Amino acid sequence: METTTDTDPVRLEFYVRTLSPPGARARQEAVLERLQRLAADGHIDDLYVKVWGKQIDPTTRAAETDQGQFILNRIAEFKQWALAENTTLESFYQTHEQSSSITGEEHTSIVLPKMGLAEYHGSELEQVAPCTTGEETYSIVDHIDDLERRLAGPSATEQETVSPVAEE
């Protein structure tokens, strides 16, 4: 891993699933509001919001599109980061084997989490949330709390917080 410095630009990538149920949608919007506040206040250099679906099948034509390749490449990068950091993303990027009742063909799809957050310093991936280390889950809310303490100082942590959520 490259060493990053305090002068490296901080970029956040927020991935959010479309068509989430109302409760999850409210949590997604609250998280997005906190991230947008960090960007508006100049604490991060760039905020990228990517909307994705419930799952992706790497063997389909959709996966061959620019959008599909982007998602598959990010998942691969996140998993490589997790391996290097001795953590796991498996409960949040689940692989499912499915069989078509019509054709009988089997395929594997990757279920995408309702929310995902990646922090980059320059071009180096520094953190992915949610993730799990042992029995401990590090949520997106945990990461935003850390970002606010680190980048925005104590006044940001006094602002309204979002309750933790399973980011399946």
pLDDT tens track for 20-46 = 777 788 899 999 999 999 999 999 999
pLDDT higher than threshold 50 for residue 157: no
Q: Is residue 5 part of a domain?
A: no
Q: Is residue 3 part of a domain?
A: no
SS3 22: helix
Cα separation of 148 and 150, whole Å? 6
Q: Is residue 166 part of a domain?
A: no
Q: Is residue 167 part of a domain?
A: no
Range of the domain at 27: 10-156
Q: Is residue 1 part of a domain?
A: no
Confidence of residue 106 (pLDDT cuts 50, 70, 90): confident
Cα separation of 89 and 128, whole Å? 9
- Please provide the average confidence, as pLDDT, over all residues in the chain: 87
Cα separation of 122 and 11, whole Å? 7
- What is the tally of structural domains in the chain? 1
Q: Is residue 133 part of a domain?
A: yes
Confidence of residue 6 (pLDDT cuts 50, 70, 90): low
pLDDT higher than threshold 80 for residue 65: yes
Q: Is residue 168 part of a domain?
A: no
6: alpha, beta or left, given left = phi > 0 and alpha = psi -120 to 50? Answer: alpha
- At 81 the pLDDT is 97
Q: Is residue 79 part of a domain?
A: yes
**Full-prediction pTM beyond 0.75?**
yes
